[in-house]
Amino acid sequence: MFDLDGTLPDTTDGVLESAVHGADNINRLTKADIVERCIRELDVDRKGGVLVGDTEHDTVGADNACVDFIGVTFGLGFKTESDVGRYPNIGCIGSLKQIVELIV
């Protein structure tokens, strides 16, 4: 995991695994497609998966992929916890370091 200032030390004793994928060059992949790629890459059960994002599109992608959603307020989309609260979520964070506290 990385934050914007550098690396975030692994304080989770190996509990977290991560895969990072984004849109393809011709914009055919949905958010759910991208989540599916991560699940396959990590060879994990989706019930333990979570999509971290900052937009309504991210919440829809998490729902379509049947994974939990954590909203962030430091991206280009959501600015407040109440913005995130309009959508199904398991939490809202204001920095990447908070994710460890939320899901571990």
Domain boundaries, the chain: 14-103
Looking at domain 14-103, its CATH superfamily turns out to be: HAD superfamily/HAD-like (3.40.50.1000)
pLDDT tens readout for residues 83-96: 999 999 999 999 98
Going from the C-alpha of 54 to that of each of 13, 57, 62, 76, 80, the distances in angstroms are 27, 8, 12, 7, 10
Using one digit for the tens of pLDDT, what is the confidence trace for 5-59? 333 444 445 555 677 777 777 878 999 999 998 888 888 888 888 899 999 999 9
Query: Exposed (0-12), middle (13-18) or buried (19+): which is 67, by Cβ within 10 Å?
Result: buried
